[in-house]
Amino acid sequence: MKNQITSETKKTLLEAHFFYEFNQMRAGFYRIINKGVFIKETNTINVDNHVLIDFLLHVRILYEFFYKNNKGDFAHAKDYFPNWKIKYALEGIETWNIQLNHYLAHLSYVRVTSANGKHPYRLYPAEKLYSHFRNLTIEFLDKIPKEYLQDNLIKLLNELKIENEKRNN
| Span 18-27, average pLDDT | 97
Question: Can you tell me the mean pLDDT for 148-155?
Answer: 95
pLDDT of residue 96: 81
SS3 69: coil
Asked if pLDDT for residue 29 goes beyond 70, the answer is yes
The whole domain housing 63 covers 2-168
- How many domains would you assign to the chain? 1
Distance between CA atoms of residues 35 and 124, nearest Å: 17
What pLDDT, in 10s, does the model give residues 132-147? Answer: 999 999 999 999 999 9
pTM: 0.84
Residues near 57 by Cβ (< 8 Å), separated by ≥ 6? 24, 104, 105
* Stretch 67-83: mean pLDDT: 87
